[in-house]
Structure 1
């Protein structure tokens, strides 16, 4: 799976966030915070 913010490959043990019932995974806290701030931008 890919980090939707930067496109880096990540696995299911990565940092995650849930938006509208779907889980999204991230390579870093920075990418997670960007997603959490404006999820519509990345989906």
Structure 2
């Protein structure tokens, strides 16, 4: 399972309807809302998730 970078919800890669390719990586989302939020500020969400995984 992967995590939605916006809300942190677990997302099944094979069943995900919403996804975005950004800088060579595919990100998966639980909803259209989260996908759209990511598209507005992708660097913000990537950085937030990296900081959380470092803790």
Q: Which bin holds the TM-score, normalised by the shorter protein?
A: over 0.9
- How much is the aligned-residue C-alpha RMSD, in angstroms? 0.6
Q: How many residues align?
A: 43
In the superposition, the TM-score normalised over structure 1's length comes to 0.94
Poorly superposed stretches of 4+, deviation over 4 Å: none
> How far did residue 39 of structure 1 move?
0.1
Give structure 1 stretches of 5+ with no counterpart.
none
Tell me the residue number matched to 2:49: none
The structure with higher relative contact order (CA 8 Å, sep 6+) is 1
Give structure 2 stretches of 5+ with no counterpart.
47-55
The CA distance in 2 between the partners of 1:33 and 1:18, in whole Å, is 13
In the superposition, the TM-score normalised over structure 2's length comes to 0.75
Greater share of residues in helix: 2
The CA distance in 1 between the partners of 2:38 and 2:22, in whole Å, is 10
